[in-house]
A and B are shown apart, each in its own frame.
Chain A
Amino acid sequence: MHELGIIVQITKSLAEIAETNKLTEIGSVTLEIGEVSGIIPSYFEDCWQYYRRKNELIRNAELIIEIKPGVTFCEDCRKIYETVKYGKECPFCENENTFLVEGNECIIKQIEAR
């Protein structure tokens, strides 16, 4: 449900980048999206198709999504593990004294533009 809001935010950043670099057309936007960022790629793609018709700068821009896996660190046994597979509880020591290291991000990695 928050995908469209994020796309609007992305286009604000892109407008700034376009202005700084004197760009008028963006050919592609590559995003790094964390597995546990709460962003659903298929919804994101739908929102992108909808919003690019309303925004001149990204009208012809292809969206490329790269998924970053979620990684959690356990403070008790000092090991890392896959977040999506095991969640909050450490699979090694079964404690919940854990925190997310990566996998929550939404980053504009690069754009192709002219």
Chain B
Amino acid sequence: MFKVYEVKENVFANNEREANKLRKELKERKLFLLNLMSSPGSGKTTTLVKTLEELKDKLNMGVMEADIDGIVDAKTIAELGVKTIQVHTGGMCHLDADMTRQALTEMGTEDLDLVILENVGNLVCPAEFDTGAVKNVMILSIPEGDDKPLKYPLMFEVSDVVLINKIDVLPYFDFNIEQCSKEIHKLNPKAKIFPISSKTGEGIQNWIDWLVAAVHDWQQ
């Protein structure tokens, strides 16, 4: 005979517990974990490489690559002398807090200030699963269109920073940065928005300044 067990628990509740536990440990270890999310082709790796180049003399960094086929990405980053690890999602469309913890342990983070997690290229699942990161950053690129906040609201709700990338191609697309920023702030009034071009370097300094300040805040 089956017996009824009342559960009444949010599906994401146990992941959220794990994520909060991980964040607490990161705080004690003074390690800043940044969760970087976007759709495929938004310039995530280019932005990451640019960020690492800017910061390599200031911070000790590591990168966790969760792309399903990430050998090329991991190689590009290893050439910069930054510690990298390939994270295996087991074919899943996202990383959860448990997988993130395992990857951090495997990588070894004793001497690091900042670990950037390059999440799976996807605007849906990564937004639903808290990885335990200190801050969430998402990249929206100009060719994707300015309607993305309307189509993927949760991603914009959970992101502390939105990098609007590829502004060097703005003249060729009907992307209204002002309108898009308005839509993002409707969903998430606290979101910081930085228009950048990882290719030309335009606007990158604003993003780097924010990141350095956030890492220092966390370490205090």
Contact = CB atoms under 8 A, between A and B. Distances in A.
Nearest to B14: A13
B125 interface: yes
A108 B92 contact: no
Contact of B128 (A2, A27, A111, A114): A2
A31 B9 CA distance: 10
Nearest to B152: A38
Contact of A107 (B10, B94, B129): B10
A40 B128 CA distance: 15
Given A2-B124, A108-B9, 18 more contacts: A2-B125, A2-B128, A5-B92, A5-B128, A10-B11, A13-B7, A13-B13, A17-B7, A23-B5, A96-B186, A106-B11, A107-B9, A109-B6, A110-B4, A110-B8, A111-B4, A112-B2, A112-B5
A9 interface: yes
A-side interface size class: 20 to 34
B-side interface size class: 20 to 34
B12 interface: yes
Interface in A95-114: 96, 105-114
Contacts of A107: 8-11
A96 B154 CA distance: 18
A6 B11 contact: yes
Most-contacted residue by chain A among B11, B14, B94 (CB, 10 A): B11
B55 interface: no
Contacts, number: 79
B153 to A, nearest CB: 9
Interface of B is mostly: mixed
Contacts of A94: none
B8 A9 contact: no
A17 B5 contact: yes
B113 interface: no
A114 B14 contact: no
Interface of B: 1-15, 92-94, 96, 122, 124-125, 128-129, 154, 186
Interface of A: 1-2, 4-6, 8-10, 12-13, 16-17, 21, 23, 27-28, 31, 38, 96, 105-114
A89 to B, nearest CB: 12
A2 B12 contact: no
A6 B9 CA distance: 13
Contact of B93 (A1, A12, A21, A27): A1
Nearest to B6: A110
Which 7 interchain pairs have the tightest Cβ spacing?
A112-B2, A27-B2, A108-B7, A2-B125, A106-B11, A2-B124, A5-B125
A15 B122 CA distance: 27
